Amino acid sequence: MTLEGLAPEPVWRHFAGLSALPRPSQGEGAVLAYLKGLFTTWGLDWSQDTVGNLVVRKPASPGRPTQPTVVLQAHVDMVGEQEPGGTHDFTRDPLTLVVDDGWVRAEGTTLGADDGVGVALILAVLEDGSLVHGPLEGLFTVDEEKDMTGAAGLDAGLLTGTILLNLDGEGAGRFQIGSAGGSTTTGRIPVSQTRTDAPQGWLVTVGGLPGGHSGVDIHRQTGNALGLAARFASEFLGTQPPGTWQLAGFSGGDKDNTIPRGALLTWAGPREPGPLVAHARAAEALWAEELGPGVTPVVTVEPVPRPEHTLTPGSQQTLLDLVSALPDGVQTRSRVVPGLVETSCNLARVRVEGGEATVVVSLRSSDPGLLRDAGRRVRSVVTLAGGTVEAAGSYPPWRPPLESRLRTLAPALWTQVTGLPAVVEVVHAGLECGFLATKLPGADLISFGPELVDIHTPRERVEIASVARVYPYLCALLEAL
């Protein structure tokens, strides 16, 4: 096993077991079966609700039955992203884990430490008969990364706990007490096509961007490949004689909560790509200057078979104008919490298929009114382009509680156990705690976890030393509660 020798051994052993199983959102069957097998082996009672969430119960340690029941919660699904040209099948293939200079990562793909490490931490607690704690309930939710249907559809009647520890945090020593709400808006516009007599097809790939989590990294302003691709196409067409180059396809983006790292533009045009290549080199230089150090945009041009159809000039212009006009990036910042992104939009996907173009924008805000306004603005732009709009995947914000024992105890104990400072914060990412707070009224909730970086990208990794700090801290917190 690649992770042999890492401490704490139970956590890394369980993480390796999870990493051998496919667990994309809405495809968690294998990992759920794996968890049920463990619970049965350990002699623990478990239940499953109609949407797939698992609840397992571990009795209190001797002498601790009167302590309040604590719910340990994590989601079992992961985001599947890989390097361009990768052939990993997230519905079938195990991850290839690598230990690299104090971190664990996966070879060429996302690691799934979000939230596989949270699941592994809970499993280590459930397995260990030597720990001191009150009654425990483990809650393993499904489909967090796509639509949060697990948390939304949770049968709260399966739980008795009044304290919930969400182990989906991403910064050791950082304790979340609030998070943004969100929704996804999909716009569809009709497009017209025409047959082309251009001699050659050309594929332009916009890449080299870091991407990232649309809730965690949106403020970094490191570029959205879809917006840059639309800009590239619009500016290029403006330099060429009408009809010389014709846009045939535009696609890019995958997950709603991932900032797109790449986009594809398919063209029909002359046999010599000189102007297109020149524009690509100019765009690379300009975007590198705009996006700053650490970002190296790459625009490639390669020949492909000539497409049979291209977009008509009118549809071509409407599509590019639509993508360019859609709100993307940070929209507002909090006036109460310094530095906190309050509202954002992530232009997540673009597809042109047949006679229709589809755009998807993921919206987040800690203010319900501003969230509705962001959706209204997306709807307005799509409507002006002659399209229709559908909103889905709504999840509520998690409002910081007025009173919370956890808010005082958890960070103070962290400093006591680790000797390191703690931070209490509200985050722009969407956490299941928004739903869970409504499902468990009156419960005390907090979120934390080890050090994860570059989640939702193939560069995702988790710091080994932080896991070694978080696990004994979690055990100490359960004893203190």
Find the helix or strand (DSSP H, E) in which 279 lies.
helix 274-291
DSSP secondary structure letter of residue 398: B
| 275 phi/psi in degrees, rounded to 5 | -60, -35
**Torsion angle of C-alpha atoms 301, 307, 312, 314, degrees rounded to 10:** -30
CA distances in angstroms from 335 to 214, 332, 369, 430, 436, listed in the order given: 21, 9, 15, 19, 26
Whose structure tokens read 């993480």? 15
CA distances in angstroms from 368 to 65, 136, 341, listed in the order given: 40, 34, 14
Sequence length of the chain is 481
In sequence order, the β-bridge partners of residue 208 are: none
For residue 235, what are the contacts with CB-CB under 8 A and spacing of at least 6? 279, 283
Please state, in angstroms and rounded to a whole number, the distance separating the CA atoms of residues 371 and 433.
18
| 255 phi/psi in degrees, rounded to 5 | -85, 145
* SS3 at position 321: helix
Residues 59, 82 contacting (CB under 8 angstroms): no
Please state, in angstroms and rounded to a whole number, the distance separating the CA atoms of residues 23 and 92.
9
Residues 439, 148 contacting (CB under 8 angstroms): no
**Angle CA(66)–CA(68)–CA(70) in degrees, nearest 5?**
135
CB atoms within 10 A of CB 354: 9
For residue 318, what are the contacts with CB-CB under 8 A and spacing of at least 6? 189, 191, 385, 386
> What's the distance, CA 66 to chain centroid?
38
**Catalytic residue list:** 77, 144
